[in-house]
Structure 1
Amino acid sequence: MSERMIISEPYYFTDSISHCGYCNGQKPDKNDNFAVRSWYDKHLQAQDGLDVQNCTLGVQLELVSVEMYDKLCNMGFRRSGKFLYKPDLLRNCCRMYTIRTTVDQVKVSKDMKACIKRFKKAALPDSNQNSKKGHKGPFDFMREIIETENESKNFYTKFEPAIYSDEKYSLFARYQESVHNDFDHNPKSFKRFLCDAPFSPEVIRGTKQEWDQLNDWKNPERYHFKRLGPAHECYYYNDNLVAIAVVDILPSGISSVYFIWDPAYAKMSLGKLSALRELAISSKINRKHYYMGYYIQDCPKMNYKGKYGGELMDLCNYKYTPLSRIEKDIEHSKFFLLSDDPNLANEPRLDERFSETPATWQASDKLYNVVENVYGVNGGAFRAANEAAEQLSEKAIPYSREPFHDICTHEKKNDIYSIPNVVPGLLPLGEILQMILQQKINLVNNNMVLFDTSMGHIRLVVDFDQESPQIKKTICDLVRLFGLKNTIDSLVIV
């Protein structure tokens, strides 16, 4: 983790839910727009004029180590090119949960078996599958995929650096236009979206040894796989490029970024196949988890991921929990917060947890969903945040009370640098206040670097207390997003 993280000051975007790429503001039940039931009940009589928004936090991420990006994924962040983002799950119209799974958590369904059968039929057109001697025991999708690819003469894949080519863009264009009815694209936007990455040039290029090992993933006994970073896995059928899996290979697993396929080969179900293949590859190269992006309970194009088993991130606790455990809690696109204390009313502290590998709630834990206690209309999080904001303001850090803490009110929606006082998954303002009072924030001194775009120069943060109010707030907001330890040696563009 030698790279210094280079990031912009954080942004907070709000937009009409009609621009949401998942629900388009068209949910049939308005209750499903709300993270917490009590907020829906409060606005039940004013639905037509309700200002529910599509809300996202993010930073421009110019450089980061693969190890740090692994941590960020587990905090609920994803990347689009070099833009790092996460939804505000309290105010956003859709609840977007980080989901991960493993080979052991997958229960092979009839649909998955049918997908592999179609793949075998296409990849082995001359074989009589029914006449082949079958394997005894339960269906093993990893074995089926590997044997089929080893025997096929017309299907193969190749891992390579995530760099632009006209052939890749042509495939992307066909996919976007046919599958998503998206004609607003060009080579530059494709490169920015699926080729650009916030890693060093050396990481992006990789080495011949790394790529050779990765392309021999079916023989794991030969290697200690070294590849970390972004990759394009190109799928070829009859020597035609028919699909590209865009992935990030992380220390803890493979993260799926995007998958594009040629509409002419729709019958091959390459999208479904890719998930099974990437699960198999994760296991074979000794990366425990397969990160599938976001899971949205009420969105068909995102909730299919639940078919692969797995677990969701309990964002406020930085802990994973099996999806099966909280399915009822997240019905109607609701937010959840688990606790062993049924009376918990304050947001959990997160800073120390962000320095560690995320834990998992144990099956033996007796847990309660306390989301109403903390984030409901009378939730304790808002009161505590307002009290902390007042004290921070007294110390010349310009946070302000939000007197009417309605999650559907966005008084500062045109200020993209203003993050609400309460956002699930960020360090609570009270925790930031304690860092100030205990002078822990001074760890940024002589570590954090600022690039001042207005002055065009780089300087060291020597004394946090002597910085301008706005710079202090920017530093505090970054700590809210990432934790103190993960932030102290960053280079921040302001």
Structure 2
Amino acid sequence: MIYDFRLGISKEFPCNYLPGNQERLLIVVDELNEQAKQYDYLMHQGFRRSGEQVYRPHCKTCQACQSVKVMVQAFTPSKSQKRLLKKNQHLTLVKSRQPKDAYYPLFERYINELHSDGAMYPASFEQYQSFLFTHICEQYFIELYDGDKLISVAVTDELPSALSAVYTFYDPDYRKNGLGIYSILQQIQVAQSLGKEFLYLGYQIDDCQKMNYKNKFFPYQRLYGNQWHIIPGQSK
């Protein structure tokens, strides 16, 4: 099914990922009345959400942001990903439909200790709420526990055909556990168990070191030239 939406274009503002560049967004103006179905369609067109706002990069001279989605039913972990799975096999995964009060202190520590140079620093509860949560679709909160201790939360949107990885935050003391990559591997497994076709990872930006990690989950599809291209290769 094809939907029609009214779209607006933002003003230019400094890019958060490529210093010296200017960023501009294409923003969906209409409310998503059919919500998850409409959002699923928009995700396939390269859109993404921040809170309730659905947008897509629309920069004048740059096309560095390219949407990526893992083909989860065909996914095979690489050797390094298998090692990471084994390293963290003592952790317990819990899928929750409702956020918990314990999330925000973990989010605050993650932002303030690991991303003090980022756009979300310093963390605030208002920012946490407006950024992560939505009425557009159902959500999973994929929690990781070390014993009874909550150490990571992967906020994940559920769409008819896919899951979408919104944001993962974790205890900075567990940085060496590779919980960012590990949480993606767990989201892939959850998507497989739910019979989903894809896991959306957001925008891959090759020239931004912090964002250059989403192209290591094969096979995946990458959107450029308004077409999805299958990337079948395997990483080490």
1:14 is aligned to: 12
Please state which structure has a larger fraction of its residues in helix.
Answer: 1
Quick one: higher RCO (CA 8 Å, sep 6+), 1 or 2?
2
Q: Are residues 1:170 and 2:105 paired?
A: yes
Q: CA deviation at 1:324?
A: 6.0
Question: Per the alignment, in what secondary structure is the counterpart of residue 185 of structure 1?
Answer: coil
Q: Note closer, same or farther for the CA distance 1:53–1:277 as it changes in structure 2 (3 Å cut).
A: same
The amino acid of 2:66's aligned partner reads: Y
Instruction: Tell me the TM-score normalised to structure 2 length.
Output: 0.85
Secondary structure of the structure 2 residue equivalent to 1:292: strand
In structure 1, what is the Cα distance between the partners aligned to 2:29 and 2:149?
A: 35
Structure 2 CA distance for aligned equivalents of residues 108 and 240 of structure 1: 27
**Cα pair 1:243 1:261 within 8 Å, conserved:** yes
Answering whether residue 147 of structure 2 is matched by residue 238 of structure 1, we say: yes
| Structure-2 change in CA distance of 1:156 and 1:245 (3 Å) | same
Structure 1 248/57 Cα, relative in aligned 2: closer, same or farther at 3 Å? Answer: same
Indicate the SS of the match to 1:91. coil
The alignment status of 1:76 with 2:76, answered yes or no, reads no
Match of 1:194 in 2: 132
> Would you say the 8 A contact 1:63–1:198 is kept in 2?
no
Q: Which residue is equivalent to 2:157?
A: 248
Residue identity opposite 2:110 in structure 1: Y
- Equivalent residue of 1:306, what SS? coil
- The answer to whether the 8 A contact 1:77-1:86 is kept is yes
- Helix, strand or coil at the partner of 2:11: strand
Amino acid at match of 1:178: E
The 2-side partners of 1:157 and 1:55 are apart by 38
Aligned to 2:86: 117
Q: Give the 3-state SS of the residue equivalent to 1:308 in structure 2.
A: coil
Matches within 5 A, 1:461-476: none
Alignment match, 2:223: 313
2:96 aligned with 1:160: yes
Separation in 2, partners of 1:8, 1:190: 28
Percent identical pairs in the alignment equals: 29
Aligned with 1:158: secondary structure?
A: strand
The one of 11, 16, 19 aligned to 1:24: 19
Which residue of 24, 32, 35 maps to 1:55?
24
Q: Which structure 2 residues correspond to residues 128-139 of structure 1 after superposition, within 5 A? A: none
Match of 1:43 in 2: none
Query: What CA distance in whole angstroms lies between the structure 2 residues aligned with 1:89 and 1:11?
Result: 10
Give the drift of 1:70: 0.3
Distance 1:110 1:97 in 2: 26
Hey, what's the Cα distance between the residues in 1 that align with 2:37 and 2:225? 20
Question: Structure 1 pair 11/60, CA: closer, same or farther in 2 (3 Å)?
Answer: same
List gaps (5 residues or longer) in structure 2. none
Distance in 2 (alpha carbons) for counterparts of 1:117 and 1:171: 24
CA contact (8 A) 1:89 1:96 kept: no
In structure 2, do the counterparts of structure 1 residues 290 and 85 end up closer, same or farther at CA, with 3 Å as the change threshold? same
Deviation at 1:11, TM superposition (A): 3.4
Native 8 Å contact 1:60 1:82 kept in 2: no
Task: Report the CA distance shift for 1:91/1:162 in structure 2 as closer, same or farther (over 3 A).
Answer: farther
Letter in 1 for 2:96: E
Contact 2:73 2:192 in 1 (8 A): no
Matches within 5 A, 1:471-482: none
Mapping 1:388-427, distance limit 5 Å = none
Report SS of the residue matched to 1:116: helix
- What is the letter of the counterpart of residue 46 of structure 2? G
- Tell me which amino acid in the other structure corresponds to 1:194: L
Q: In the alignment, what sits opposite 1:411?
A: none
Aligned residues: 227
Deviations 1:34-61 (A, max 9, x none): xxxxxxxxxxxxxxxxxx5212121356
Structure 2 distance, partners of 1:261, 1:241, is 9
2:126 counterpart SS class: helix
Root-mean-square deviation over aligned CA pairs: 2.6
**Scaled by the length of structure 1, what TM-score is found?**
0.42
8 A contact 1:242–1:262 mirrored in 2 = yes
Distance in 2 of aligned mates of 1:105 and 1:299: 27
Residue 295 of structure 1: aligned partner:
204
TM superposition shift of 1:256: 0.6
Q: Structure 2 CA distance, aligned partners of 1:89 and 1:158?
A: 39
Is 1:87 the equivalent of 2:25? no
Question: What is the CA-CA distance between 1:86 and the residue it aligns to?
Answer: 0.5
Change (3 A) 1:265 1:298: same
Matching of residue 257 in structure 1 with residue 166 in structure 2: yes
**Considering only CA atoms, is the larger Rg found in Structure 1 or Structure 2?**
1
Corresponding residue to 1:67 among 37, 48, 51 = 37
